[in-house]
Amino acid sequence: MVEEEEEASGRLDFGEQGAGSVEGSVEHGLLRYSPEVWNALQARAPVVALESTIISHGMPFPQNLETALQVEAIIREHGATPATIAVLDGHPHIGLTLAQLHRIASGGRRVRKTSRRDLPAVMASRADGATTVSATMLLASQAGIPFFVTGGLGGVHRGGEVSMDVSADLIELSRTPVAVVCAGAKTVLDIPRTLEVLETQGVCVAAYGADEFPAFFARSSGCRAPARVDSPAQAAALARAAWSLGPTGFCGVLIGVPIPAEHEAQGAAIERAIKAALGEAESSGVSGSDVTPFLLKRVAELTGGASLAANIMLIKHNAAIGAQIAVAYHALP
C-alpha cells in the first residue's frame, strides 16, 4: 500500500525486526497477532477487525462461539482475513485462535467488558478482557487494520442531555482512523442526538444503500444520513477520501448498513418489544447501567428469542458487507 495510506491507518512496520513468537502468536511491540492475521498484514492483504464483547457479553455459550466462527468464515469467503480482538492475560491480541475464541466465549461475564478507558487496568492486572467498539477501534488502528465490523454502535442514551450518558464509541470515531461498518444505533438510544454528537465530532457518516441512517432492527431511524454509498467501491472511496486528509485532518468513518428488507417484518416486531420493555423499565424505576441488561433480557423474553436470532443475522450481514468494502479498498489504485 502507498505510504500515505499506511500513515493514515496507523499501520505499524511489519518487518521481521522486533517480531517474535509467543505461544503460537507473533509478538510485535505491545500487540500479539495470530499467524493468520500477521501473515495477511505482512502481505498487505485486506483484514477486517471484529470485537469480542459481542461474544462474551452478547450471546450465551456455545451459541456465541458458533456465531463467532461463522462470522469469521463469512469474512474469509469474501476475500478478507478476520481479526477478532481481545485481551488475554493482559496482552492485546489481534486475531484469535480457536482455543482463544473458546476461552472468551466460555468465560462469559468473567471476561471483563473492556472499553478504551478500561484497557490500562485490564492490561496491568493481566486479566482477560473482551473489547468493546472503542477499544477494538483503538487496537485495530495500532495494528494497521482500517476496517472494523460490529453489530450496533453505542450512542447517546435517552435522557443523555441530562445524565451525560454518551458512549465512548462516538468519541473514538472522532480520533481513530478506522471505518466502522454496523447496523446503525439501536432505538433504545437517542438516535437524533447520537447523530448530532457525531456531527459535532466531525465524523463522516454514510448509509449503505439508503437515504436514512439505520436503527439496527429497523431499516430507518427517521433521520436522514449525511451521506449515502451504494456499493463496496463507493464506501471504499469514501474512506480513502477521508484518510487522504491526513491523520490529523480526519479520523473515523461510520457506515450504517440497514437490516435486509426480507427481515424487516421481524425487525418491526422486535422494535415493538423494545418500546414495551422501555416502558417497563421506566415504570419499574430501572436506571443507569441496569437499563441495558434489563432491556436485553426482557426483549428476548417478549420475542421468544427472536431478537437474538435477528442480532446474529445482522452481524453476519454486516460482516459480508464489511469484507467486501475492505477488499474494494485494497483494490483501489
Q: pLDDT per residue over 153-175, tens digit each?
A: 999 977 778 778 889 999 999 99
Contact 202, 176 (CB under 8 A): no
- One-letter amino acid at 92 equals P
pLDDT in tens, 280-314: 988 888 875 566 667 777 888 888 888 888 889 99
Q: Are residues 208 and 260 in the same domain?
A: yes
Within a domain: 150? no
Q: Are residues 314 and 179 in the same domain?
A: yes
Which burial class, exposed, middle or buried, applies to 162 when counting CB atoms under 10 A from its CB (0-12, 13-18, 19+)? exposed
Q: Are residues 137 and 196 in the same domain?
A: no
Q: Are residues 132 and 258 in the same domain?
A: no
Q: Are residues 107 and 213 in the same domain?
A: no
Q: pLDDT-based confidence at 248, cuts 50/70/90?
A: low
Q: Are residues 211 and 310 in the same domain?
A: yes
Most confident of 80-89, 269-278, 308-317: 80-89
Q: Are residues 263 and 204 in the same domain?
A: yes
Query: Within a 10 A sphere around the Cβ of 269, how many other Cβ atoms?
Result: 16
Report the pLDDT averaged over residues 196-211: 96
188 has a pLDDT exceeding 80: no
Q: Are residues 99 and 230 in the same domain?
A: no
Q: Are residues 75 and 137 in the same domain?
A: yes
Q: Are residues 208 and 131 in the same domain?
A: no
Q: What is the CATH number of the domain that holds 88?
A: 3.40.1790.10
Instruction: Provide the total of helices (H) and of strands (E) in the chain, helices listed first.
Output: 14, 13
Catalytic center residues: 51, 186
Domain end marker among 92, 114, 145: 145
Within a domain: 267? yes
Contact 223, 258 (CB under 8 A): no
Within a domain: 157? no
Within a domain: 275? yes
Within a domain: 313? yes
Q: Which three cell numbers stand for residue 156?
A: 447517546
Task: Work out how many domains the chain is built from and give that number.
Answer: 2
Report the pLDDT averaged over residues 219-238: 96
Domain span at 323? 167-333
Within a domain: 62? yes
Within a domain: 162? no
- One-letter amino acid at 194 equals T
